[in-house]
């Protein structure tokens, strides 16, 4: 398995990390209706849920970029580097979202998008 493929796995699991943060401590958590419970949350829980949604939304673009670059036989070290850059940016993005640092969050989001777009230019 390449580093980039491992990054795909990490990114596939990362939205669930955000969910775990949103459910931290399970304060009055209702497992019979988890979506309703999450929709009522505020503060860091609501931000973690928003981060989860954004993480899910970014997956298809990232997955496609890694797969297409791999199929096109782009240099593997570049694919790996850009994939790691994306993963690191998304980890920072999650931290910034939960911590309520909107400007920094936007900057790291942009860095992640640059990594994905750059993957397409490797072909």
Alpha carbon distance 90, 95 (integer Å): 9
Domain borders along the chain are 3-120
Could you tell me which residues come within 8 angstroms of residue 5 by beta carbon, excluding any fewer than 6 positions away? 66, 70
The pLDDT assigned to 23 comes to 85
Cβ(62)–Cβ(8) below 8 Å: yes
Task: Tell me the mean pLDDT in the region 90-109.
Answer: 97
- Span 3-120 CATH architecture: Up-down Bundle (1.20)
Nearest by Cα to 85 from 63, 113, 104 = 113
Task: Tell me the mean pLDDT in the region 8-34.
Answer: 87
Instruction: Quote the pTM value.
Output: 0.92
Percentage of the chain lying above the pLDDT 90 cut: 80
Residue 41 CA from chain centroid, whole number:
21
Is the pLDDT at 121 greater than 70? The verdict is yes
CA dist list (Å): 78 to 29, 53, 92, 95, 107: 43, 28, 21, 26, 22
3-state helix, strand, coil split of the chain in percent (to 5) is: 80, 0, 20
Could you tell me which residues come within 8 angstroms of residue 76 by beta carbon, excluding any fewer than 6 positions away? 2, 4, 70
* pLDDT class of 123 with cuts at 50, 70, 90: low
């Amino acid at each position: 398995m390449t580093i980039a493929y491992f990054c795909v796995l990490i990114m596939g699991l990362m939205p669930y990390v955000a969910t775990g943060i949103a459910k931290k401590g399970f304060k009055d958590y209702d497992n019979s209706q988890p979506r309703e419970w999450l929709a009522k949350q505020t503060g860091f829980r609501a931000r973690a849920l928003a981060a989860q949604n954004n993480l899910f939304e970014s997956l298809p673009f990232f997955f496609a970029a890694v797969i297409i670059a791999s199929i096109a036989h782009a240099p593997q070290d570049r694919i790996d580097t850009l994939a790691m850059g994306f993963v690191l940016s998304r980890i920072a993005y999650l931290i910034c979202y939960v911590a309520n640092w909107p400007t920094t969050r936007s900057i790291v989001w942009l860095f992640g998008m640059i990594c994905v777009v750059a993957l397409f230019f490797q072909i």
